[in-house]
């Protein structure tokens, strides 16, 4: 090979490597130049306050954001008074409690379960899917079999309160999906950043009350209900899952942050995208939360009434998200 040709090949290889690597090199150098902002945790709705408090215990003890988000969302999962997540949630139209959850860590690993029945902590099953299988998502009976093999116990998650509400709903037996609001909210989505500056997220729900049996919302879908890219930040969603899935909501928010938008601008742009593309947007609620590597946060919803909990330096506050209408 002539030296000219060798030089040309070498230059070509270096040039294409530089082009391919450029975005991640830029992101990494930007991020490594920044000091970690200090631990913080952000989650949806008022049930986020107790969840944040549990997550904070992990973060303040120098724990990993992944452990914090799992411990955090386990609180509403086990609380019978939270009627939209885990135990105490409302059943589907056939009376089955069917749970959806997902989790994502700082390495981009992800685990998810959908339409999981009779297991109190779907988020922990999702984490096992991430850590113990080569897969990302397990559903229905397969998810339950896996959970039982991992040592989880079968439990009746339908509380008396939820059973009565279902009996009442059956009298009219009208399939009108419930509109999520301040009094009737849904998912807990949570994002945390730990002392090392690593971000993880979790999302868990019993889904829309009176949904069709087998319906899966956005919450267990990586990129819809939750997305984390530790180079950039994380996002999670709440509200009508179908609307969020249709725009790959949380992935879009993270990609908009990667492109330079603040977390607040990214959440607003995702909501605007729903408005532009989904003409029935006045019929439902959707909200997004986002957090970037600098510890900046964003929150925005279609309608008034979306609240979220933010815990920084041990101060845990319930805040009203700005909204479109």
Give the catalytic positions in this structure.
187
Work out whether the CA dihedral 68, 142, 240, 111 comes out positive or negative.
Answer: positive
Number of residues that bind ligand GLY (CB under 6 A): 12
Q: Rounded to the nearest 5°, which phi and psi values hold at 36?
A: -60, 135
Report, in Å, the least distance between residue 154 CB and ligand GLY: 22
- Decide if residue 217 touches ligand GLY (CB under 6 A): yes
| Among 83, 205, 250, 278, interactor with ligand GLY by CB under 6 A | 205
Binding-residue pattern over the window 159 to 188 for ligand GLY, x denoting contact by CB under 6 A? ---------------------------xx-
**Burial of 197 per CB tally in 10 Å (0-12, 13-18, 19+):** buried
- Decide if residue 44 touches ligand GLY (CB under 6 A): no
| Among 198, 238, 250, 297, interactor with ligand GLY by CB under 6 A | 238
Q: What is the DSSP string of 235-298?
A: EEEEE-HHHHHTTTHHHHHHHHHHTT--HHHHHHHHHHHHHHH-TTGGGS-EEEEEEETTS-EE
- Decide if residue 287 touches ligand GLY (CB under 6 A): no
Q: Of the two residues 159 and 187, which places its CB atom closer to ligand GLY in the complex?
A: 187
Report, in Å, the least distance between residue 162 CB and ligand GLY: 16
DSSP H or E stretch at residue 192: strand 188-193
Sequence-ordered list of residues with C-beta below 8 angstroms from that of 256, at least 6 positions apart, any chain: 265, 266, 269, 270
Q: Rounded to the nearest 5°, which phi and psi values hold at 264?
A: -65, -50
Site for ligand GLY in 250-269 (CB under 6 A): none
| Among 67, 92, 105, 218, interactor with ligand GLY by CB under 6 A | 218
Cα gap 120→86, rounded to integer Å: 6
- Decide if residue 241 touches ligand GLY (CB under 6 A): yes
Q: Of the two residues 127 and 215, which places its CB atom closer to ligand GLY in the complex?
A: 215
Please state, in angstroms and as integers, the Cα–Cα distance from residue 176 to each residue in 94, 183, 304, following that order: 14, 17, 21
Report, in Å, the least distance between residue 186 CB and ligand GLY: 4
- Interface residue list for ligand GLY (CB under 6 A): 186-187, 205, 207-208, 217-219, 238-241
């Amino acid at each position: 090979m002539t030296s000219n040709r060798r030089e040309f090949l070498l230059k070509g290889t270096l040039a294409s490597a530089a082009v391919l690597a450029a975005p991640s090199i830029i992101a990494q150098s930007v991020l490594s130049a920044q000091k970690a902002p200090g631990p913080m945790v952000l989650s949806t709705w008022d049930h986020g306050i107790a969840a944040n408090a549990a997550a904070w215990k992990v973060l303040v003890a120098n724990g990993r954001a992944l452990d914090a988000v799992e411990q955090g969302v386990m609180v509403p999962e086990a609380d019978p008074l939270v009627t939209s997540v885990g135990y105490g949630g409302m059943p589907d139209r056939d009376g089955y409690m069917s749970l959806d959850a997902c989790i994502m860590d700082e390495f981009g690993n992800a685990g998810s379960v959908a339409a999981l029945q009779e297991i109190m902590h779907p988020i922990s099953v999702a984490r096992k899917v991430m850590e113990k299988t080569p897969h990302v998502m397990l559903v229905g009976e397969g998810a339950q079999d896996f959970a039982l093999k991992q040592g989880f116990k079968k439990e009746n998650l339908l509380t008396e309160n939820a059973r009565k509400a279902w009996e009442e709903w059956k009298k009219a037996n009208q399939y009108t999906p419930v509109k999520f609001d301040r009094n009737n909210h849904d998912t807990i989505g949570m994002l945390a950043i730990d002392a090392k500056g690593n971000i993880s997220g979790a999302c868990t729900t019993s889904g829309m009350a009176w949904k069709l049996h087998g319906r899966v919302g956005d919450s267990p879908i990586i990129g819809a209900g939750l997305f984390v890219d530790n180079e950039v930040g994380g996002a999670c969603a709440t509200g009508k899952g179908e609307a969020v899935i249709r725009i790959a909501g949380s992935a879009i928010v993270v990609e908009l942050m990667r492109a330079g938008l603040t977390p607040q601008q990214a959440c607003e742009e995702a909501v605007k995208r729903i408005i532009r593309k989904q003409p029935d947007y006045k019929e439902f609620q959707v909200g997004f939360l986002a957090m970037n590597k600098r510890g900046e946060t964003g929150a925005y919803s279609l309608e008034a009434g979306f609240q979220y909990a933010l815990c920084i330096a041990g101060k845990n506050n319930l805040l009203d998200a700005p909204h479109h209408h």
